[in-house]
Amino acid sequence: MIKPYGSNELNPLFVYDSNSHDALAREAEKLPALVVSSAAAGNAVMLGSGYFNPLTGYMSLQDALQVSEKMHTARGLFWPVPIVNVTSDVSAIKKAKRIALRDPNLPGNPVLAVQDVESIEQATDAQMSAMAEKIFRTTDPAHPGVKTFLSVGRYFVSGPIKVLNFSYFQQDFPDTFRTAVEIRNEIKERGWNTVVAFQTRNPMHRAHEELCKMAQKAAKADGVLIHMLLGRLKEGDIPAPVRDAAIRKMVEVYFPPNTVMVTGYGFDMLYAGPREAVLHAIFRQNTGCTHFIVGRDHAGVGDYYGAFDAQKIFDEEVPKGALQIEIFKADNTAFSRKLGRVVMMRDAPDHKPEDFVTLSGTKVRTMLAAGQPLPEEFARPEVAAILMKYYQSLEK
């Protein structure tokens, strides 16, 4: 199986030993506490899950600046975005060497992790703006990632962490949330050697289904990991439970048995386009996947990124040999009226726009809310039925 990123073995930061876990939980109740941001909580879940291997905790301000500017830490580890614990108020932890991190997303703010505090540093507005510009390629506050990054505070609390739970993800998505450790184990149990990963924050329409099949065929892969984001999205995106149900129905009906794993991970969407695509590749390597699909406007939002910037970054900015996982570069896929099947648009140069069955997101939402079936060339009817029920519920 492909090695994790940055080490020979995966090193998740979750405390699996029950005795150590109980002892740390008891200690945490007596420690100075910080209710972290949702972004920092997501980072803790990803660190605990092994997705952010080989990191051992939250980055310092210096590392965050280096990663933003040059995509590597002060010690030289290639990494695309800062993994940080940033807050606006450190009064309760000012002189603490060890603190309890409390979950902002659950009632009562239970302890999520324990952190050894190596430094508490205050960033300037200029530093925050410079980091945002590098990470998101904009400082526009209308960009959802920029808005979040610049709103959580200026104090960087750095240091290693030990994770005690996976926030709401394990209880809200018991059949879907999986750690990198669990995915690697299941890949091994299934006897898969070559695995294609597909990232999604949306339901999968027919074009996505066929894209997974195209990539699996091209890579001669044993299976596909459909890996969905389960954390916070921007307003208007479809909730994770609806996406989960739609994707599972599509896999059940339209994929051969034992060719797909449907799983999810606990993280808030960054909408960082190219930088986030690289992060996605790193943590898919940590799950044991050998190939990763990067499509048009991957992890993008609005018009902030070029259509294929998320593919170009792997050629132009990722150091050669830094990643073992291979990138499958995809174009837009759509049903061709001429050919009677789904194709990548780049593979049909003789086609005009009207030769493809395409619908805008707005048109899809309008049709489903009105109870109008989507064209079968665009969406499988079983998937459309689940989405229709959701959109019609919003109208009531």
Residues in the chain: 396
Give the C-alpha separation, 61 to 165, whole Å: 26
* Both structure tokens of 380: 């499988």
- DSSP lists the bridge partners of residue 161 as 115
Give the C-alpha separation, 159 to 115, whole Å: 6
* Both structure tokens of 387: 């989405």
Q: Contact, 112 vs 24, CB < 8 A?
A: no
- DSSP lists the bridge partners of residue 269 as none
Catalytic status, residue 201: yes
Q: Which of 11, 202, 232, 365 is catalytic?
A: 202
Give the C-alpha separation, 355 to 336, whole Å: 6
Residue 116: other Cβ atoms inside 10 A: 15
> How buried is residue 379: exposed, middle or buried, by Cβ count under 10 Å (0-12/13-18/19+)?
buried
Give the C-alpha separation, 332 to 306, whole Å: 14
Q: Which of 98, 190, 201, 248 is catalytic?
A: 201
- The catalytic residues are 201-202
